[in-house]
Structure 1
């Protein structure tokens, strides 16, 4: 990995930081209602040492904390089912935009859709911040869901297309890293701002992040892979790729992998590129050659132009159907093994078990989730994608079983350890790896539609967990007595999804293209 980091330029780091603000906001809005749930729903009115200061700012100098009710309501009365619906409507917006984003980004590129997601995030955050009813809050959550669904389709594609080829597994983890960072930010804000009307500042900060994303995207170029394959503008594509890799990097082999012939440009196009980069062709026969590194001639490969496939086309085509089954399955596994029962409901879930520290434990959970994802980011390139997913599923299954038993027998310390291990195992496999699989299981002509299938499945599964978890958890606790029974279900799901991955998901590490992944010859029709 150290040798591969030589391919990382400052410009690439800037592009990664700006583009991953989209997934960061997915994590931010996914968990934004967790800590302040009871305050938002008028179940409690908590206070903190910064209450007076926050009230002073909200009311433009009015020192009376109770004056905040004249400007913004301190809570929005709602039932548990209302809150569950508000939490889940975020995933409905995500599902809709995830399904639409794949074909749209195939037709219009990556840059414009990323700007559109920033607009959804900005408007949605403002609507949530000033919401005074369940309906308006749900509308803001829906708009943020539209931004989130598209972001989690587009950004992994963009990252895979600008990252160095040998480190795509490493850089692919940055989607999940940014999601976890967003979760950590909102959980930390919730710890300090879950009182009176101060919780609205949490939602307003989401708007600040969205505005930062919109401005930052002005520095981001279109994907060179999309430019080369969709527009045929090889000069522009090569120029952007050269800038990302560095002025003196040899990009012939990588450019060839984009479907651009032998990686070199014809004489006229090369002259245009050199002119654009500030080179002039010398007429002196004795002049030294341009200082451009070269490789030995690559093997001749026949590249056939294929139109980009739509959402329905890929599932009807038997060539791509196994990939659709694989990505849909691992996305369902990502959610149905139970991670969002912790991310979205940990404060209320653990309050009765750990009444004095559930909110603080949630922050620790987020820190471990982020730290483990960062530490584990080299693992998919070292041990393989499939191995990491299987280790993650097995670890979460064992953690679910342990959590169920520890909650039932009121073993507080063991419960806390089980929660932390649950999150850590998620972070080494099921968290980051599914986001990079779609781009490795199919060719470029189908990657947009396949990513839509993957993220559409993710949002359906997230909706099921977000909406049904509190209902099922409450029903099981009342009918069977005690608590923790729902985690036996998640443990059972882990067994089922481990079997699915063993049977249906191929290893993609070290494979040059989808044909090699599936062990088939290149199709010529």
Structure 2
């Protein structure tokens, strides 16, 4: 390879890393704002005198905004571009974070968390779209998984900030610090390009070629442009939400909706939002629960790195199947221990088993469903409906999240840890059956190849 070619490759590599980093930064904000409430809630509960139901409302209010944000962002991303909607989400994040940190009462906190949810919902749609459309086929799985990596990093950063601020019970600072990455995200996206597929779809081929030249080898650019053009000739108009329900799109919609909903009801949000609450119920002190939760957050990040390494090697479907088995097993052990062992007085064997099983569940989820769900949802839909379809699936994802987060503290209070987590174990078993029956492998296939196969009614 000539020196000039080597220099070009290095330049492409640097440009690509910057684009992927700022493109995925919305995931960090998504993770921080959803994870920070776990530790903050211990102190909000006391200062604002929250009942179990109001606790659920405070946590789940963010998800109401997320449902609206996801539904709106999908169509806006198709109309205005992925990048512009990402910038709008960053502004909303900033305003919402400041408002939550300054909230004088529970009602104001709920209102500002709904606003934050608009940004979270928009980011959860736009970030996977942006990454999947920016990446080349050979690395699309790993690049799309950066979204989940940033989510787990955001959750971990939230847990660390909770642990550092816990001695001061400074829940307002815990919530307000999200403004820092929000500003970084906005500044970065101002300098980042729009995705080449959206540009080509909107008649801006010269710009699309220039963007591809920053993220592809020279020999890949024209071939990929030709493939996108070939698919684009089959549809010339911009689609709306109604088109998502077309009969020929049904197989993709079943996969997208099924993965989105199951991803949220297998039990992950009971852990992300309420792990400290769960641990205090089995003998941990408040501070010990927060420190243990930080460890769970670190495991979450590490296993997402494993998912990035595996997803383009092992494939999406196999990870889903293995992950569902391991998640169900870990929650079954947790539930059995809670139901059969004596109720703890202080830290005991039940507490140790509970922490171990929560960590095992996080290992399994992060390496499989946590990463694969976002990747597959951003892959299976055709370009002309991708924004609207991903937005619809993500709206249902947040709706499922809302149900879990609102009901968990009430169920925990009513039936106890054992029966709640046994129910989650059964749902994990159902998730295995769904993946085995409906999910088709997309590893190593271009987005256009997946679309053409869907149009031809072939796997």
Instruction: Judge same fold: TM > 0.5, yes or no.
Output: yes
**Residue 511 of structure 1, CA deviation:** 3.0
**Residue 517 of structure 1, CA deviation:** 4.7
| Structure (1 or 2) with the greater helix fraction | 2
CA distance in 1, matches of 2:269, 2:254: 23
**Residue 197 of structure 1, CA deviation:** 5.7
Q: For residues 366-389 of structure 1, what are the alpha-carbon distances to aligned partners after superposition, in whole Å with 9 as ceiling and x for unaligned?
A: 101110011221322112211111
Tell me if the contact between 1:90 and 1:142 (Cα under 8 Å) persists in the aligned partners.
yes
Gaps of 5+ in 2: 1-8, 342-348
1:405 corresponds to? 336
The question of 1:313 aligning with 2:243 is answered yes
Q: Residue 396 of structure 2 is aligned with which of 450, 457, 479?
A: 457
2:72 corresponds to? 100
Q: For residues 165-186 of structure 1, what are the alpha-carbon distances to aligned partners after superposition, in whole Å with 9 as ceiling and x for unaligned?
A: 2110111111110000000001
Q: Residue 19 of structure 2 is aligned with which of 9, 15, 21?
A: 15
Q: CA distance change for structure 1 residues 319 and 202 in 2, over 3 Å: closer, same or farther?
A: same
Tell me if the contact between 1:438 and 1:447 (Cα under 8 Å) persists in the aligned partners.
no
Q: For residues 339-364 of structure 1, what are the alpha-carbon distances to aligned partners after superposition, in whole Å with 9 as ceiling and x for unaligned?
A: 11111100010113242432111111
**Residue 510 of structure 1, CA deviation:** 2.7
Q: For residues 257-306 of structure 1, what are the alpha-carbon distances to aligned partners after superposition, in whole Å with 9 as ceiling and x for unaligned?
A: 222x6xxxxxxxxxxxxxxxxxxxxxxxxxxxxxxxxxxxxxxx893343
Q: For residues 199-235 of structure 1, what are the alpha-carbon distances to aligned partners after superposition, in whole Å with 9 as ceiling and x for unaligned?
A: 2212221011111111121211111110011x21111
**Residue 521 of structure 1, CA deviation:** 6.4
Q: Secondary structure of the residue that 2:178 maps to in structure 1?
A: helix
1:185 corresponds to? 157
**Residue 121 of structure 1, CA deviation:** 0.3
**Residue 21 of structure 1, CA deviation:** 1.7
Pairing of 1:354-503 with structure 2 (within 5 A): 354-356=283-285, 357-408=288-339, 409=341, 410-477=349-416, 483-503=417-437
CA distance in 2, matches of 1:133, 1:40: 10
CA distance in 1, matches of 2:22, 2:34: 20
Pairing of 1:250-265 with structure 2 (within 5 A): 250-259=220-229
CA distance in 2, matches of 1:190, 1:322: 42
**Residue 448 of structure 1, CA deviation:** 1.1
Q: Secondary structure of the residue that 1:382 maps to in structure 2?
A: coil
CA distance in 2, matches of 1:322, 1:369: 31
Tell me if the contact between 2:137 and 2:444 (Cα under 8 Å) persists in the aligned partners.
no
Gaps of 5+ in 1: 43-74, 262-300, 478-482
Q: CA distance change for structure 1 residues 254 and 461 in 2, over 3 Å: closer, same or farther?
A: same
Structure with higher Rg: it is 1
Q: Secondary structure of the residue that 1:431 maps to in structure 2?
A: helix
Q: For residues 439-467 of structure 1, what are the alpha-carbon distances to aligned partners after superposition, in whole Å with 9 as ceiling and x for unaligned?
A: 32222112112201221111011001100
Tell me if the contact between 1:36 and 1:195 (Cα under 8 Å) persists in the aligned partners.
no
The question of 1:344 aligning with 2:240 is answered no
2:35 corresponds to? 31
Q: CA distance change for structure 1 residues 387 and 519 in 2, over 3 Å: closer, same or farther?
A: farther
The question of 1:168 aligning with 2:140 is answered yes
Q: CA distance change for structure 1 residues 7 and 325 in 2, over 3 Å: closer, same or farther?
A: farther
Superposition RMSD in Å: 2.0
Aligned residue pairs: how many?
Answer: 438
CA distance in 2, matches of 1:197, 1:35: 10
**Residue 9 of structure 1, CA deviation:** 1.1
CA distance in 1, matches of 2:50, 2:281: 21
Q: CA distance change for structure 1 residues 510 and 249 in 2, over 3 Å: closer, same or farther?
A: closer
2:456 corresponds to? 520
2:345 corresponds to? none
CA distance in 1, matches of 2:227, 2:425: 42
**Residue 417 of structure 1, CA deviation:** 1.8
1:151 corresponds to? 123
Q: RCO (CA 8 Å, sep 6+): is it higher in 1 or 2?
A: 2
**Residue 518 of structure 1, CA deviation:** 4.2
**Residue 161 of structure 1, CA deviation:** 1.2
2:5 corresponds to? none
CA distance in 2, matches of 1:115, 1:519: 33
